[in-house]
Amino acid sequence: MRTLVVGGTGPTGPFIVNGLRERGREVTIFHRGTHEVPEIPDDVGHIHGDPHFAETIADALAGRTFHEVIATYGRIRLLAEAFAGKVGRFVSIGGVAVYRGFSSPRTLTPMGLTAPVRESAPVADDEAEERFGRLIAQTEETVFAHHPTATVFRYPYVYGPYQLVPREWSVVRRVLDGRTHILVPDGGTALSTHGWAGNLAQAVLLAVDQPDVSAGKAYNCGDLDQLSIRQIVEVIADALGAELRPVPVPWEAAGPARLLSLGGRYHQLMDLSRLVGDLGYTDVLPSTEAVARTARWYAENGADTALEARLGDPFDYAWEDQMIDTAGSVLAAWGRHRRDDPDEDETGRTASGRTFRPHPYAHPKAAGVARDHRGR
C-alpha cells in the first residue's frame, strides 16, 4: 500500500513514517525540503514542493497516486480538495484550538473552557472572535465534505525533538545556565493537555490500523496523564540532575514566565475517552518519562538563536532576580499577617499532622453521646 505523509520531518513525522513502514507501507513524504532529519530512512521517498498552495500541490503530485494520505502539514483544506475522489483514506491533523473559547477564554461564561473538553463541545464559529480557531473548524468541515470517511486528529501542544517553539527549552536552558530558581505564574498550577510526539503518532497509527472504527470522526489526543507547570519544572530539573526551585508570582507580575503556561491563566484539558474507547489508545511513554527524555534531548542538542527568537524568552536573569527578591519580600509580609498555622505546608498540614480545618463529620469516642469531642 502506498502512503503519502504530508510533512514528515516535524516532531511527530518520524514516528508516523516509521510506524507506517513497520506496517509494510511504501511511504513517501511531501514537504518543502528545507530540512531533513536523520530519523527518516533512505527507503522513504521524498517529494519536494510547497503544500500550502493549490498550484504547487498540483505540480508536486502530478501523475502520482496513493492509497492513503496522512496530512500533518500545509494547508489541509487544499490537500483535501486535491485528493478528493483520488485516495481511499484521508487522515488529517488539526488542533485543539478549534474549540470555542480556546484562544479567547473571556468570551465564555463562566470564563475559560470547562474541563475536560469533549469532541462534542462547540467549535469556533465567529472569525471575528477567534480567527485561528474558526479556520481550523472550516478546514475540518472541508475535510469531511470531500472525504466522509476521513479521520481528523486535534493535536494539543506537541513536545519532543524538532518542536519549533519548545517550551521546555525555557526550563532546560536555565538549568544549563546554573539557575537555581525559576518564576512560575500563579503558582505553576495551570493544566493544559500536552502530547509527546511519539504518543500523538501512536494515536494516528491506531486510526490507520482501524479505518472502519475511526471513519468520519474527530479525536482529541494527548498524553493520558497531564503535568502542571510546576511538575514539569520538577521533572526536567530531576532529569538533568539539578535543583530548580519554582518561585510563584501572580500572573500580572510574571512577565516572560507566562510563556510556561500555554493556556494562559485557564485550564485547557481535553477529554481523551473517545480515543481510548474507540481505538484502545495507551501512551507509548508516560508523560513523566517523555518530558524527561525531551529535556535530555534539548540539553544535548541545544538551541540556536532562531529557536530562541521564536520562543520569545529573553532569559533576563537580572530582572528575574529582582522579581524573585520582590516575591520573597511580599511572601514574608503576607506571612506576618497569616491567620492559619505558620508551620502549615502546601497541603494544609503542620509538622504534627494536624490540618488547619478539621473535617465536619462526627467521630464519637463513645456510644450514645450527642456530640463528639470536637462538638460535631
Is there a contact between 167 and 291 (Cβ–Cβ < 8 Å)? no
In 3D space, the residue among 245, 222, 249, 223 whose CA is nearest the CA of residue 233 turns out to be: 245
Q: Is residue 52 part of a domain?
A: no
**Tens digit of each residue's pLDDT (9 = 90 or more) over 263-304:** 888 999 999 999 999 999 999 999 999 999 999 999 999 999
For 48, residues 6+ apart whose C-beta sits below 8 A from its C-beta are 31, 32, 33, 60
Residue (of 229, 245, 246, 227) closest to 289 by Cα position: 227
Residue 248 lies in a domain: yes
- Site of grid cell 530562541: 308
34 found inside a domain: no
| Range(s) of the domain holding residue 162 | 88-326
Question: Per residue in 303-352, pLDDT tens?
Answer: 999 999 999 999 999 999 999 999 888 878 877 776 665 555 555 555 55
Contact present, 200 and 158 (Cβ < 8 Å): yes
Cβ neighbours of residue 108 closer than 8 Å, sequence gap 6 or more: 100, 101
pTM score of the predicted model: 0.92
Burial of 308: CB neighbours in 10 Å, binned 0-12, 13-18, 19+:
middle
Contact between 123 and 133 under an 8 Å Cβ cutoff? The reply is yes
* Residue 63 domain flag: no
User: What distance in Å separates the CA atoms of residue 202 and residue 110, rounded to the nearest whole number?
Assistant: 35
| Contact of 120 with 217, CB cutoff 8 Å | no
Residue 75 lies in a domain: no
Is there a domain that residue 32 lies in? Answer: no
How do residues 223-241 score in pLDDT, each as one tens digit?
Answer: 999 999 999 999 999 999 9
How much helix, strand and coil, in percent to the nearest 5, is found in the chain?
40, 15, 45
How high is the pLDDT of residue 46? 97
What CATH number does residue 284 fall under? 3.40.50.720
In tens, the pLDDT along 9-40 reads: 999 999 999 999 999 999 999 999 988 999 99
The pLDDT of residue 356 is 53
* Domain presence at residue 173: yes
Number of helical H runs and strand E runs in the chain: 12, 11
Helix (H) or strand (E) holding 295: helix 287-301
Which of 145, 107, 246 has the alpha carbon at shortest distance from 189?
Answer: 246
What average pLDDT does this structure show over 195-218?
A: 98
Domain count, the chain: 1
CB 275 within 8 A of CB 193: no
Let me know: does 339 contact 216? Beta carbons within 8 Å: no
Inter-helix orientation angle 229-239/287-301, to 10° = 60
The answer as to whether 360 is a domain residue is no
Q: Is the pLDDT of residue 144 over 60?
A: yes
Separation CA 70–CA 73 (nearest Å): 9
